[in-house]
Amino acid sequence: MTNKSVKQPNGVLIVDKPKGVTSHDVINSLRRLYQFKKIGHTGTLDPNASGVMLVCFGPATKFIQYFTDTDKTYQAEVIFGLETDTYDATGKVLRVCTPDFSIAALHHALQQFKGDLMQKPPIYSALKKDGKKYYDYARAGRMVEMPERAIRIYQIEIRKIDALPQRCEFLVHCSSGTYIRSLCHDLGTVMNTCACMGDLRRTAVGRWRIENAHTLSNLEKMSMAERFERLQSAERFLDQYDSVQSNAWGDRFIGNGAELYAWNSMTGFEKLEADQLLRIYDSQGRFKGIGQFRLNGKVQPTEPCVRPLKMMNSE
């Protein structure tokens, strides 16, 4: 029989992942700290990388898919003169060369990566082909083609150049799905040399910055109540989506997971676009979940309401 006094977390925690552990290791640590199993994260960081991870607890895990398509900001180190199979310094060395370029040439090369472009992710990645991860193909020695995909670089600029031409540090603000390892590799090609990624730190996911993140070591020192206080409502992480609000009649519909129409909504649908994702609120302004606008003039709920953030009794 389930213990009714057991408290369950519900919300999102901003974590500062340490270098040298996997994202899954972080989740396991949080499961131990919160004594709770239903935890998921919104984007993997390589073991050699550190920085911001958004971690969801309990009912908030239903919204993970809506957090993932979020821009990211990184501080990255590129190592010139070294090419590896993983595109970072932890991989097998494939080629060593002598970099020879000016700072002006580096500035010019970086500008070529701004805006919309196509990028080929590294073969050692968790992306999948036919249900199997690409790094499994690579480890088995199988040659498979990695397709390019569209990304966007909003900002890229040099931050530290005192170790040039061997290495430098730069800041990059990019779309979700961008591989910084590939960016470093491709930068080497543009510079007529070879390159791979060194250290990497994710400093922001959307508007959620490293300054707001909690380290595992600090969470270790907190009481359970203090850890719960660090959780934030999932609703706060969905403000990139427009919203609709039901009227009193619509409250009954969305309360049962049914569609919202113009007649049972306080919000006009005239400016909505097909398949647009929307936050749904009831007539009292309470967050009820995420929905999608359909061409037949209705908002179809896709995920139910996350309950108000609090320490809840288990079912």
- pLDDT digit of tens for each residue in the chain (315 aa)? 334 445 789 999 999 999 999 999 999 999 999 999 999 998 889 899 999 999 999 999 999 888 877 899 999 999 999 999 999 999 999 999 999 999 999 999 999 999 999 999 998 888 888 888 877 877 887 878 889 999 999 999 999 999 999 999 999 999 999 999 999 999 999 999 999 999 999 999 999 999 999 999 999 999 999 999 999 999 999 988 999 999 999 999 988 888 999 999 999 999 999 999 999 999 999 999 999 999 889 999 886 544 433 333 222
Record the pTM.
0.85
Domain 243-311 maps to which CATH number in 2.30.130.10, 2.102.10.10, 3.30.70.2700, 1.10.1740.10?
Answer: 2.30.130.10
Q: What is the pLDDT of residue 304?
A: 59
Q: What is the pLDDT of residue 168?
A: 96
Amino acid 312: pLDDT: 30
Measured CA distances, 312 to 4, 10, 59, 61, 228 (Å): 10, 8, 11, 16, 11
Q: Cα–Cα distances in Å, from 207 out to 67, 109, 187?
A: 12, 28, 27
What CATH topology corresponds to 72-205? Pseudouridine synthase (3.30.2350)
Q: Which CATH class is domain 11-69+208-237?
A: alpha beta
Query: In this predicted structure, what is the pLDDT of residue 232?
Result: 95
Domain map of the chain by residue range?
11-69+208-237, 72-205, 243-311
Number of H helices, E strands in the chain: 8, 21
What pLDDT does residue 296 have? 86
Equal fold, 11-69+208-237 vs 72-205: yes
Q: How far apart are CA 265 and CA 278, in angstroms?
A: 13
Report pLDDT for 6: 56
The set of catalytic residues is: 46
With vertex at residue 211, the alpha carbon angle to CA 209 and CA 212, rounded to the nearest 5 degrees, is 75
Give Cα 165 to chain centroid, integer Å: 32
